[in-house]
Structure 1
Amino acid sequence: MRLFYSSGSPYARMVRVALRETNLLPRVTEVEATLRDPASAILPVNPVGRVPTLLLPDGTALTETVLILDFLDTLGAAHRLLPAEGAARWRAMAALGRAIGMMDGVAVWNRELRRPEHERSPGVIAQEITRTNRVADVLEAEAGRLGDTPDAPGIALLCLLGYAERRHRTWPWRDGRPGLAAWYDAMAARPSFAATLPPLSGL
């Protein structure tokens, strides 16, 4: 299998961390791909050009983070990323969906800030700031219940906050959220997280 990724993508980082946490990395070749590049190595595999993309041996290309994380659980790793069934699975899926949804908002906010100032939408930026802080406040209230197991929801939240630390520093997410910050700092010490550190951005 081959995983196409970009080092700055938090969505791809979620899969890269999961591969390391489940000890599945030896079964996957990681391929760093350029984005928005007509010569990108990812385009023959995934014409959409998005990362992460996991290419299976039969040629199937899985292109959504949640789908890939769910697929990894079918490979027989000792450590599951999501419960197999029942209410626990749906609770985990809900937590994962919330983290991914929050990341989507941060990504829109970040993309707006990368536009020339006269092309930015203040309304879009304000909406995503409000949404992001609303979810972060809920997570702070729940910080005592956030686990220390690197399951799919935990990995997604960790990579989201890690993105804010290095790629979206305009958002002071730690302010007023000591519980969430303490959880992040403890989890960020994991080798899987250190091995997938994204480059610093100017934002």
Structure 2
Amino acid sequence: MRLFHTPGSPFARMVRVALRETGLLGRVAEVETTLRDPASSLLPANPVGRVPTLLLADGTALTETALILPFLDGLGGAYPLLPLGDVAARAAFGRILGMMDGIGVWNRELRRVPEERSPGVIALETGRAGRVADALEAEIAAGGWRLAGPPDAARIALGCTLGYAERRHRAWDWRPGRPALAAWFDALAARPAFQATLPPESGL
């Protein structure tokens, strides 16, 4: 199997962290690729041209983190990322994916020239990200989101989302007023799987 990724993609990073945490990395070759490029090495495998893409031995291309992580659970890794029947774990995972989707929209707006940016979109996504982060701060302060043992899909997703904000969407300083969330992130980010997949910093 091959995993196509780009170093800056938080969604691809979620899969890369999961492979390392579950001990499945030895079964998957990581292939760095390019996006928005007609010569991308990804396009022959997946004409959608999005990462992460997991290319299976039979040529099937799985796109999207939300599909790839459950597939990994079927490969017999060290532990399940999304335990069967655990609705709360899946709800938490979905919430963080939604948070990251919104931050991605916000980031793309900021990469436009100023006269092409939508203030309404930026305000909407700023509010969404802050609202979710505030809820997480309250939940963690109350004892939720514990980090006992290896991280599940939701914790991996949240770590990659906050890590993206720290290194590639620095327009959002999420730490002030959220000490519990900041301490939680710092503990998770120190794990070897996160350190090995740090995204490059961008100019934003």
Q: Name the TM-score class by shorter chain.
A: over 0.9
The amino acid across from 1:77 in the alignment is G
- TM-score by structure 1 length? 0.97
1:83-162 to 2 correspondences below 5 Å: 83-85=83-85, 89-143=86-140, 144-148=143-147, 149-162=150-163
CA distance in 2, matches of 1:95, 1:147: 13
CA distance in 1, matches of 2:146, 2:27: 27
- TM-score by structure 2 length? 0.97
The amino acid across from 2:21 in the alignment is E
CA distance in 2, matches of 1:49, 1:73: 24
Shift of 1:78: 2.0
Q: What SS does the corresponding residue of 2:154 show, helix, strand or coil?
A: helix
1:1-203 to 2 correspondences below 5 Å: 1-85=1-85, 89-143=86-140, 144-148=143-147, 149-203=150-204
RMSD of aligned C-alpha atoms?
0.6
Shift of 1:84: 1.8
Q: What SS does the corresponding residue of 2:173 show, helix, strand or coil?
A: coil
Q: What SS does the corresponding residue of 1:200 show, helix, strand or coil?
A: coil
Q: Percent identity?
A: 71
Residues 167 and 202 in structure 1, CA contact (< 8 A), matched pair in contact too = yes
Paired residues in the alignment total 200
Q: What SS does the corresponding residue of 1:163 show, helix, strand or coil?
A: helix
Shift of 1:28: 0.4
CA distance in 2, matches of 1:78, 1:182: 26
CA distance in 1, matches of 2:126, 2:5: 27
CA deviation profile, 1:24-73 (whole Å, cap 9, x unmatched):
00000000010100000000111010000000111111001011000000
Residues 103 and 160 in structure 1, CA contact (< 8 A), matched pair in contact too = yes
CA distance in 1, matches of 2:146, 2:55: 31
CA distance in 2, matches of 1:14, 1:161: 12
Q: Which runs of 5+ in 2 are unaligned?
A: none
CA deviation profile, 1:70-94 (whole Å, cap 9, x unmatched):
0000001121111122xxx211110
Residues 147 and 154 in structure 1, CA contact (< 8 A), matched pair in contact too = no
Residues 3 and 29 in structure 1, CA contact (< 8 A), matched pair in contact too = yes
